[in-house]
Structures are given as structure tokens and as C-alpha cells.
Amino acid sequence: MGWLVIARFTIKEIVRRRIFAAVVVLTVLLLGLFTLLLNALVDNLQRAQPENMELLLLGIGALMAVLASWSVYLQSSLMTLLLTAGMLSGEIEAGTLAVIVPKPLHRVEVVFGKWLAYALVLAVYTAVLELGFLGVIYWKTGYWPDGLAQALGLLELGMLSLLALLTAGSASLPTLANGAIAALLFLATPIASFAQVVTQITGESTTVERIRTVFELLMPADALWHAASAALLPPVAQDLIGIRQVQNLPIIGAEALTPAMALWVALYIVVLPLLGMLRFSHRDL
């Protein structure tokens, strides 16, 4: 049960880190600012007393739910990058693992314990943040997405896919290189998505679509986010904004996750940490 000991101490280490505290404080401030802005918007609408006020509020709530969840997706991904880029490499560079590994612990237990700790902390962070934003939206507009459970699960899988890539990278690369590669892939995928939308409007998009598919295979978090946004946005709203005509906008998606992509995500999340464990078991500290 050495992995359990590693997980417990890693969670304590995460909570004590200044960067974790700083991100949590900024997250609370952002949630407070969002509450104030939404409250001001609803108050202005109520003073104007438009027709179909309840329907208008539900529409605003649906749109805000997608935008707020996109913010959760970005914040969760940022937290994952900041916390886990040096999961193993940072401690190797600091010489910490040279003290831990000679103990009666298998190296696989060290990697699995750390992965489990980061996965638990980030999963709780993502869930609390998502429920916090949607709770504010429900309070002010009365809108609660029917597909919340599915959307939240997809957001968690997006976080785990990024964590899987960083775990494998941290076992092989320096901290800076690992974080840079993950960040570039994370940014390149939505850029490819935006390029596909433009080419769909202007003409031939086959080549761009293939490039986007390659990026999504390398970084499936973006595909998971698009599927999550489709679960949050009712079909009526999707038809209203015309998203089905372009399939996926850079922020909002219209399609559920395909079975092939779901299988790839499952393999991605499982295999990359296993490769990290294998690499860490044979590398010099």
C-alpha cells in the first residue's frame, strides 16, 4: 500500500503549495465577479420588463451555462498544467526522489500515488467550480442544464487526459519542456478548430479537418469540451444559433462524443500514465 502513503503525502504537499492557494483565491474572486455581473444583467432586464421574461432568462441561463463551463474547462486545465508539469521531473531535479525511492517502495507505486493524488484534487476542484457557477446561474435565471452529469463527466475526462499527458512527460522530460509541450498542444487544438470553421464557411475544409483531427488525437481535451458544451446547450438553442450548420465552433460544440473518440480517450487516459510508470522505473534519478 505504498502508493496510498505517497498519495496522502502528495495531497498534503499540493494543499501547502502557494500556487494552489493563489489559484483557489483567484477562482473565488472570479466566481464572485461572475455573480455580480450576472446579477446586474438580470436586474437591468427586470427593470426593462420585456415580454416573455421567463423565457428570456432561461435563454440567458443556457448561454451563461456554456460560457461559465468553458471558463471552468480553462481554469481546470490551467490548474492541471501549473500543478503537474513537474510532478516527477521537479522532484528529480530537486533530488527529493533520490531519498524516497531507496525506501521499500516500488517506483510504479510512486508514480501511481502521485497521479492518484493530483487526479483527486483536480477532480474535486473541477466539480466544485462547475457546480458553483451553475448554482449562481440557477439562482439568478432558473436555468439548470439537464445534461449536467454528462457535461461534468466530460470535463473531468478532459482534465484527466491533460493529466495523463503531463504524467508521461514528467517521467521523461524536464519540467519546463513538459509544460511547454502540453501548453502548445492545448492551445493548438482550438486554433485548428477555429480554422476549420473558417474553411467550412469559405470552401474546402478537408485538409484543415484532418489537421484538426490529428491535434484532437494528440490532445483530446478539446473534443471532450465540445461534447460537454453540446450536453449543456439544448437542441433548440443549438438550432437558434445555427451551430449545427458548422458542427463545432471554437467554444461551442453540437455533437456528442463518437464511440471511436470515447475509446481513444479511455486508452489515452490509461496508457500514457502507464508509459510514464514504465519510463520512470528505468530512468536514473
- Can you tell me which residue has the cell 445534461? 147
pLDDT single digits (tens) 75-126 = 999 999 999 998 888 877 776 666 665 556 688 888 999 999 999 999 999 9
Position 246 pLDDT exceeds 50 = no
> Given this model, what pLDDT does residue 22 score?
87
At residue 249, the pLDDT reads 62
pLDDT number for residue 204: 60
Spatial neighbors of 181 by CB under 8 A, at least 6 apart, are 169, 173
User: What is the per-residue pLDDT for 63?
Assistant: 84
pLDDT for the residue numbered 92: 76
What pLDDT, on the 0 to 100 scale, is given for residue 19? 82
Percentage, residues of the chain above pLDDT 70: 85
Highest mean pLDDT among 16-30, 132-146, 226-240: 132-146
Mean pLDDT, rounded, for 260-270: 95
Contacts of 215 (CB under 8 A, 6+ apart): 185, 188, 189, 192, 222
pLDDT of residue 100: 60
Higher pLDDT, 106 or 141: 141
The region of weakest confidence among 110-124, 151-165, 169-183, 202-216 is: 202-216
For the chain, count helices (H), then strands (E): 13, 0
pLDDT at 237: 60
Can you read off the three cell numbers belonging to residue 33? 465577479
92 vs 15, higher pLDDT? 15
Which cell numbers hold the place of 37?
455581473
Across the chain, mean pLDDT equals 84
pLDDT at 221 (0 to 100) = 92
Q: Which of 41-55, 93-107, 126-140, 159-173 has the lowest mean pLDDT?
A: 93-107
Q: Is the pLDDT of residue 26 over 60?
A: yes
SS (H, E, C) 126-174: HHHHHHHHHHHHHHHHCCCCCCHHHHHHHHHHHHHHHHHHHHHHHCCCC
Q: Decide if 222 contacts 162 (C-beta within 8 A).
A: no
Cα angle: 153, vertex 13, 100; to 5 degrees: 110
Q: For the segment 271-283, what is each residue's pLDDT rounded down to a tens digit?
A: 999 999 998 887 7
Cell of 275: 508509459
Helix axis angle for 53-84 and 148-170, nearest 10°, is: 20
pLDDT at residue 133, rounded to an integer: 95
Q: Name the one residue in this structure whose C-alpha cell is 493524488.
A: 117
CB 175 within 8 A of CB 89: yes
pLDDT of residue 122: 95
Please state, in angstroms and as integers, the Cα–Cα distance from residue 193 to each residue in 64, 156, 159, 212, following that order.
Answer: 21, 21, 19, 6
| Higher pLDDT among residues 209 and 31, named by residue | 31
pTM over 0.85: yes
